[in-house]
Structure 1
């Protein structure tokens, strides 16, 4: 088949685009309202942009509470979504009044962050504490700016549960990191495959390892 997304002429019950660009990591974003209410929401348009400086982004369709809070307070946390937390992740996508915390809705305990004010999800094995950098508004080929808001932050602190570290590496199979796969589908990382890079073809773990 072939179709043009703008024309939506795929002939299928649902658009396949987000199922093709998958699996996508989930940015489980916690923030605070200016009044101090903790907000928590999942975003499947989320990723690490670069390592130095360590920048992350998530993209919101519409200027939702997360974007509003982060722009007002300048801080947020990216919590790792995992298989055992899938139902809680799903619950936090529920639209809620600004004075109601999704932590409470999903029955999740918050834990204090080290360098930023928004709390992390205590049950999540990893969290990235971030300082807001900017909001980017992408535009289409016609030059029009849709109601999309890309929030970019710099990671200033990284929390990792010691149980997730195996042989000196963060083990995604231990945590069963959760990803979005389009439609109502999710996937968990439960198997890894390693390949050596060609010489000069990228990061050499042995060369980058610290001296003992």
Structure 2
């Protein structure tokens, strides 16, 4: 027997908790930005994150409400996606606190920066992969804003490369689940996509 959930009857907050418990796992974009005057660098995790286009390369994250990351991107047109890996869990969680905009999560959490090559926001030095992005489009939808950024530059620590691409087993990605739950990679299943020309199993 199924239990039915009505979004209209439940209201936004309750259905948000339901949705984030079933749309799982979600990759986490650890977004670094900077205020327009350069006085404060912001760092925050966003678990509504994906690839929007491959040519040109565009990634997308969603800001629910008007968070500092969104405001800074609107003001400067730049951001960095820092890869969220398992060893960084405690640091990532510490930057999810709703600090005032004038407070830098880099400073509060003691996170080391490194300069980006093409944008002003710094990278997280300990993150194994970084994507430097320029804002392409923002789209308001309900209580959220979708931020699309063109990837200008990507950098990967060489020890994470296997067979000319980043290895998921070495990267050990973190994901967000429901409530206060986080997910780790676990076992990796290798299963090749079957071309149409080949006989299908069974």
TM-score higher than 0.5 here? yes
Alignment of 1:14-33 (within 5 A): 15-33=17-35
Q: Secondary structure at the match of 1:22?
A: coil
Residue in 2 aligned with 1:193? Answer: 189
Deviations 1:120-139 (A, max 9, x none): 1000000110000111012x
Residue in 2 aligned with 1:206? Answer: none
Most deviating of 162-171 and 180-189: 162-171
CA RMSD of aligned residues (A): 1.8
1:200 deviates by: 5.1
TM-score of the superposition, structure 2-length normalised?
0.89
TM-score of the superposition, structure 1-length normalised?
0.85
Q: Secondary structure at the match of 2:7?
A: coil
How far apart, CA to CA, are the structure 2 residues paired with 1:173 and 1:191? 9
How far apart, CA to CA, are the structure 2 residues paired with 1:49 and 1:200? 26
Tell whether 2:129 aligns with 1:126.
Answer: yes
How far apart, CA to CA, are the structure 1 residues paired with 2:54 and 2:196? 18
Deviations 1:124-170 (A, max 9, x none): 000110000111012xxxxxxx2211111101100101111123221
1:87 deviates by: 0.8
How far apart, CA to CA, are the structure 2 residues paired with 1:159 and 1:15? 34
Most deviating of 69-78 and 97-106: 97-106
Tell whether 2:158 aligns with 1:155.
Answer: no
Residue in 1 aligned with 2:200? Answer: none
Tell whether 2:85 aligns with 1:104.
Answer: no
Deviations 1:29-81 (A, max 9, x none): 00010121110011111111121111111111111111111111111000011
Residue in 2 aligned with 1:82? Answer: 85
How far apart, CA to CA, are the structure 2 residues paired with 1:104 and 1:6? 41
1:173 deviates by: 1.4
Aligned residues: 191
Q: Secondary structure at the match of 2:8?
A: coil
Report if the CA contact (8 A) 1:8-1:15 is conserved.
no
Report if the CA contact (8 A) 1:32-1:38 is conserved.
yes
Structure with the larger helix share: 2
